[in-house]
Amino acid sequence: MARKTFRKIITSPEIIEKINSKNKKLINQFLRKKNAQCSDVTIVNYQSDLNIYFCYNYLYNDNKFFIDTKKIELAEFFDYGLLDLKWSGNRYSRMRSLMSSFSDFIEDYLDEDYPEFKNLTKKAVPKVPKTPVRKKTVLLPEKVYELRDALLEQNKLQQATYLMLLAASGARISESIIIGVDLIDESHTAFGDLFLETTDDIKTKGHGKKGTMMSRYIIKDVFLPLFKLWLPERVRIMKEKNKDHNSMFIKSNGEPVKVSTVNSWIRQWEKILDMDLYAHCFRHFIVSDLTRKGCSSDFIVAVMKWKSADMYNIYNDIEDKDRNWKEISKLKGIFGQEKGDEISIDN
């Protein structure tokens, strides 16, 4: 059951081909500069978003050279994004950030050619709150283990193992599929032997071309039992398909799984649970479950290797009133016992 999101497409290969050649030159110069600083995925996203703007510019703004764009024309594009393309606050903010960065690039590096150009984005395009456009899925522990048991009943041991890796680590798909069998050592633990720590760093999301290299923590008792069951089956398949690599999760032909493989698994999981699922909801799950179990935000930030508590506030789905506060046990039985005048009611 995929989460439904409105989608209107205004780009096409034919329109992209017709983009003003001078605008194409600006785009290519900007992307070449960013390519030295950003990941390949980020560059692809930049290209896609710039195509949206310049296809709109072709359709509704006479294919105008970006240098000559007026504030009202830029503002109208963002209004179009909100009203016609149904952008969420996050989507709007991402495009606003890109167009500002694109304008800054022109100001900083092409000022000799365009000395009068100014970044109009900050003045012409107001910020909007980052509100979600899709309903968030909140996973409870019983649902995760219901799914695990259903997968095991269907003889989908590999998928059950992968599910437990997501639930025990909160890793993104791109991170989880590069955690190889060689990175798991039962004796390489952290936080009082409760967590496994990968024996080497993996590439995670971060600034720069190579992202951020760091190890990952995995809740030992959640992941390890199924991992041990899966290993012999993996060895059998690898030998049968004459493959030799360290990827933990494999396709039927023995090749390492890809993001598309995982997405197809998640579509199957949605049908089992009859609810919307996406890989990122397991990141919410581990943070919320640790909170539910009484862990402090400082501890969870350390486990997830975040730089600040800002990320904790994003991924924790437990409301304060539902948390397992240690203060509650101290307060039970206290109220109403303080010394004072006795309450009496005269009839």
190-217 residue pLDDT tens: 999 999 999 999 988 765 556 688 999 9
What's the rounded Cα separation, in Å, for the pair 166 and 146?
A: 15
In this predicted structure, what is the pLDDT of residue 203?
Answer: 84
The CATH number of the domain covering residues in 141-326? 1.10.443.10
In this prediction, what percent of the chain has a pLDDT beyond 90? 70
In this predicted structure, what is the pLDDT of residue 42?
Answer: 87
For residue 342, pLDDT over 50 is answered with yes
In this predicted structure, what is the pLDDT of residue 329?
Answer: 73
Torsion, Cα of 155, 156, 160, 165 (10° steps) = 140
What confidence tier does 6 reach under pLDDT thresholds 50, 70, 90?
A: low
The amino acid at 332: K
In this predicted structure, what is the pLDDT of residue 2?
Answer: 47
268-292 residue pLDDT tens: 999 999 998 888 899 999 999 999 8
In this predicted structure, what is the pLDDT of residue 338?
Answer: 61
- pTM beyond 0.75: the answer is no
**Structure-block tokens of residue 187:** 């004796």
Delimit the domains of the chain by residue range.
13-124, 141-326
Q: What mean pLDDT, rounded, does the chain reach?
A: 89
For residue 308, pLDDT over 90 is answered with no
What's the rounded Cα separation, in Å, for the pair 105 and 326?
A: 52
In this predicted structure, what is the pLDDT of residue 16?
Answer: 96
Full DSSP string of 17-83: HTS-HHHHHHHHHHHHHHHTTS-HHHHHHHHHHHHHHHHHHHHHSTT--GGG--HHHHHHHHHHHHH
